[in-house]
Amino acid sequence: MTVNRVGARPETPAPVAISTSRSDCYVLRHVSVTLPTDRGPLDILRDINLTVPEGEILGIVGRSGTGKTTLLRVLGGLLRPTSGSASVDGFEITGPPEQVVTVFQDYAAALLPWRSLERNVGLPLEGRIGKSERQDRVREALSMVGLESRAKDYPWRLSGGMQQRVQIARALALRPRVLLMDEPFGALDAMTKASMQDQLLRLQRDTQATVIFITHDIEEAIYLSDRVALIAGSPGHVPLEIATELERPRDQVETRELPRYLEVRHQVHAALAAEHNQ
Ligand SMILES: Nc1ncnc2c1ncn2[C@@H]1O[C@H](COP(=O)(O)OP(=O)(O)OP(=O)(O)O)[C@@H](O)[C@H]1O
């Protein structure tokens, strides 16, 4: 998992303003992505239309290879759509936008083994804020992921799940307005996963950040999200978007037993099955 902090982009052309509602964070219109492969151009995403209001938690689910990561790369400004338009805060995305942090899956490769956890987490803040504030933010971020006591330790002495939490801490220390995460809790054991999910909900409540995350876990998507989007097919498209309409704060046991939770779960599974049978 790599953390991509967004910053200066010398090659980026001047942003183009696009008319959107003031409270919309992301607006995607007819976004398609085609990438070159050995066997010629491959259509990865086709005609994606997606609006993500500010402060929303959006969970993206779908089978492997349907283009979820590709979509996240578009949102993170790491890949331009082949056609259609993608904007954030009313501006066309032409590179990694300010205040957007992307946390990718390949966490094992992203930590610097010669740096302690606190110095890994503080790395993107170096040169941006003073040492004392940096230390405070690093401490806070490590404590959010339950690794405060390991601050002086080194990444190679941690389990895979712990390394993943360090990556998340590194993103949180940046206090992003938009957090994009690719399978953030995939490598965690069930109990750590549940506690990280609740930590994320608390964090979002406190910061009002817009959070878009990919997961293979439909239960996780419903539990965390305001809205769940399903990506299916090849090329990937979005056959289902569903507002979860679940009250907050959520509870790992009670929320998952609510009739509405079960209804959403049923609808997502039904849409997945329908897509699979096509
Ligand atoms: N840079 C690339 N060049 C060519 N093809 C690519 C590239 N990146 C992804 N693909 C292809 O695009 C399709 C979608 O990939 P993507 O990683 O977006 O799917 P995904 O839904 O995130 O999958 P997973 O759930 O397994 O992570 C796959 O067929 C993949 O092989």
The string of pLDDT tens digits covering residues 153-172 is 999 999 888 888 899 899 98
pLDDT at residue 144, rounded to an integer: 85
Q: Does 166 reside within a domain?
A: no
Q: Which atom of ligand 1 is nearest the CA belonging to 72?
A: 18
Work out the pLDDT band at 136, boundaries 50, 70, 90.
very high
Does some domain include residue 17? yes
154 CA → ligand 1 middle, Å: 32
Domain, as residue range, for 85: 8-113+180-276
Q: What is the pLDDT of residues 42-59, one digit of tens each?
A: 999 999 999 999 999 999
Does the pLDDT at position 10 exceed 80? no
Q: What residues contact residue 159 under an 8 Å CB cut-off, 6+ apart? A: none
Which ligand 1 atom minimizes the distance to the CA of 66?
Answer: 21
SS3 content of the chain, % helix, strand, coil (to 5): 35, 25, 35
As a whole number, mean pLDDT of residues 180-193 equals 89
Q: How many domains does the chain have?
A: 1
pLDDT tier at 5 (50, 70, 90 boundaries)?
A: very low
Q: Is 148 exposed, middle or buried (0-12, 13-18, 19+ CB in 10 A)?
A: middle
Sign of CA dihedral 205, 210, 213, 217: positive
- With a 6 Å cutoff on the Cβ, whether 69 touches ligand 1 is yes
Q: What is the CATH number of the domain that holds 260?
A: 3.40.50.300
Residue 60 CB coordination number (10 Å)? 28
Residue 270 located in a structural domain: yes
Is residue 195 situated within a structural domain?
A: yes
Q: Let me know if residue 58 belongs to a domain.
A: yes
Determine which residue's CA is closest to atom 7 belonging to ligand 1. 35
